[in-house]
Amino acid sequence: MIVEIQKFMSEQTEALAGQATRFRRNPVRFMRKALVDSAGGLKSLKSPVRMVAHSGVKLTVVSGNTLQSLIALESEVVTAALTGAATRLERATEADGVADLVLSQVEMLGATRERVVYEATRAVEIFKHAGRDVRAVATHAYEVVVKAAEGKPAARKRARKPVARKPVVRRRKKVAKQLPPASSWVM
């Protein structure tokens, strides 16, 4: 583990040293290239950000529709439960005795069981539909963002024309002529 960390650190140090050397040679060109690369990176994020935002809108629509369906189902469940309770109470008041009361309540158990199964099945269908919609949005977003990035050809670097380098001319410092001391001047 330590060897891997040291290897990583040496690679990073070499990379930084290379960048420092390029920066030292021509800082203006280095900064321009860095800024152009950064601008290109920011521009390339435009499409994925739009796709993610659009997918967020689609997911909001899916969750809104799912919530709407669940609220409608909840309303039906509560209404059916209240109606069933009212029917049970009405039958209880019409019963001639305990045996008749128990038989009428038992008769209603089948209908209650069918209603509960229907409501649970409908809830599962709502969630299945929502899951399919979410999967469709996610699949579409994945295809657009990731696969589009994979399909793009790598950015080609422009071939630069060889630049004839001017020979480096080193100028010598001009040495001021030394004048003889003032005492030796002839007047």
Are 39 and 80 in a shared domain?
no
Confidence (pTM): 0.55
Each residue's pLDDT tens digit, 129-178: 999 999 999 888 888 877 666 655 444 455 555 555 565 556 655 555 55
Opening angle at CA 72, ends 92 and 127, nearest 5: 115
Q: How far apart are CA 162 and CA 16, in angstroms?
A: 26
Are 58 and 112 in a shared domain?
yes
Q: What is the mean pLDDT of residues 9-34?
A: 82
pLDDT band for position 72 (50/70/90)?
very high
Q: Is 164 helix (H, G, I), strand (E, B) or coil?
A: coil
Each residue's pLDDT tens digit, 154-166: 444 555 555 555 6
Q: Which domain holds residue 71?
A: 46-150
Per DSSP, helices labelled H in 45-147 are 46-94, 98-142
Q: How far apart are CA 181 and CA 116, in angstroms?
A: 121
> Alpha carbon of 16 to those of 23, 25, 99: distances in Å?
10, 14, 92
pLDDT for position 3: 86
Q: How far apart are CA 151 and CA 140, in angstroms?
A: 15
Q: Is residue 68 part of a domain?
A: yes
Query: What residue type is 73 in one-letter code?
Result: L
Are 102 and 69 in a shared domain?
yes
pLDDT at 187 over 50: no
Mean pLDDT of the chain: 80
Q: How many distinct structural domains can be found in the chain? A: 2
